[in-house]
């Protein structure tokens, strides 16, 4: 079984010390996939200083050279991998960035090129801001050949462009719901990659305020019993003593199973 961790929102506003505080004790054994924003705008979030929430200015990651140097070192040492997390992470009146931006294709192409050159690494994974994608946003990601790592993925054919795997993947998820006794409204994280014509998708379990250790261990145990894999998604800026304790408890639970490997998020798609 494979186990991976994804962390969202690394950007200009992140300090290297923020990441070290949360992951410094574990990332030599558990690589962290940092979903990174290339040109963060001052969106409303505790991760962004309030003075920048409405500035309208885009802050390129390279304007934080201390963070860039740290990220390059972590990548080279195998402690982290990098995913593309939108372009600016800005919010639009009609929705989140990859629901409502008028140019998702450009944002994917330019963001990908910028981060790969700046951080001297290859990127193969996209994490949508707020885990939200329109049909066009999904097509832009798939068209770039990026795999999708999300937390609230919709599998219904009406939400995606059709290819020859669309219907069979939807049926596979429907059968999984039936197998595990879930209705359409019941929460579910499908523990296997779904492969489409130009990309693959994998769902994550969220660790946010209010998530309990019991909830996560239950999800992990189910995935393991079914022969699947597990990805945890969180935000470094939300990790306080309580959430850090839940993370530590989950890792302790996972480590008791000799058949589990800690892997990069990219390996979930292998």
Say which CATH number the domain at 207 has. 3.20.20.370
φ/ψ (deg, to 5) at 52: -105, 0
Cα–Cα distances (Å) from 78 to 121, 160, 177, in that order, read 11, 34, 36
Query: How many structural domains is the chain composed of?
Result: 1
Percent of the chain with pLDDT over 90: 80
d(CA 67, CA 73): 10
**d(C-alpha 1, C-alpha 225), whole Å:** 10
What's the predicted TM-score (pTM) here? 0.95
Kindly report, residue by residue over 209-257, the tens digit of the pLDDT: 999 999 999 999 999 999 999 999 999 999 999 999 999 999 999 999 9
pLDDT at 153: 65
Query: How many C-beta atoms lie closer than 10 Å to residue 234's C-beta?
Result: 23
Tell me the CA distances in angstroms from 214 to 8, 20, 184, 224, 247, one per residue in order.
23, 26, 23, 15, 11
Burial bucket for residue 9 (CB in 10 Å: 0-12, 13-18, 19+): buried
User: Which pLDDT does position 163 carry in this prediction?
Assistant: 78
* Cα distance between residue 227 and residue 221, in whole Å: 10
pLDDT in tens, 61-94: 999 999 999 999 999 999 999 999 999 999 899 9
Give the angle 257-194-228 at the CA atoms, nearest 5°: 15
What range does the domain containing 19 cover?
Answer: 2-269
Nearest CA to 215 out of 256, 249, 179 is that of: 249
pLDDT in tens, 154-206: 666 666 777 788 888 888 988 998 999 988 778 889 999 999 999 999 999 99
CA distance 66 to 102: 33
DSSP single-letter state for residue 51? G
CA distance 233 to 170: 23
SS3 sequence of 187-200: CCCCCCCEECCCCE
């Amino acid at each position: 079984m494979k186990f991976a961790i994804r962390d969202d929102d690394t950007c200009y506003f992140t300090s290297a010390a923020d990441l070290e505080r949360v992951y410094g004790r574990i990332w030599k054994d558990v690589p962290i996939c940092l979903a990174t924003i290339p040109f963060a705008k001052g969106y409303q979030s505790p991760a962004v200083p309030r003075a920048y929430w409405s500035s309208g200015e885009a802050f390129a990651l390279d304007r934080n050279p201390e963070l860039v140097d740290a990220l390059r070192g972590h990548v080279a040492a195998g402690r982290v991998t990098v995913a593309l997390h939108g372009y600016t992470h800005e919010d639009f009146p009609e929705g989140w960035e990859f629901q409502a931006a008028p140019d998702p294709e450009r944002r994917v192409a330019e963001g990908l090129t910028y981060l790969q050159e700046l951080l001297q690494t290859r990127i193969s994974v996209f994490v949508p801001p707020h885990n939200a994608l329109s049909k066009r946003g999904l097509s832009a990601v798939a068209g770039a050949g990026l795999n999708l790592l999300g937390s609230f993925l919709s599998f219904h054919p009406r939400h995606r462009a059709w290819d020859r795997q669309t219907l069979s993947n939807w049926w596979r998820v429907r059968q999984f719901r039936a197998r595990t006794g879930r209705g359409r409204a019941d929460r579910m994280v499908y523990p296997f990659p779904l492969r489409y014509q130009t990309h693959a998708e994998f769902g994550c379990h969220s660790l946010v305020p209010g998530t309990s250790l019991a909830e996560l261990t239950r999800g992990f145990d189910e995935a393991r019993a079914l022969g699947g894999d597990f990805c945890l998604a969180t935000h470094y800026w939300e990790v306080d003593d309580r959430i850090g304790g839940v993370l530590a408890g989950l890792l302790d639970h996972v480590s008791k199973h000799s058949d589990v490997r800690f892997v990069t998020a990219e390996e979930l798609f292998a």
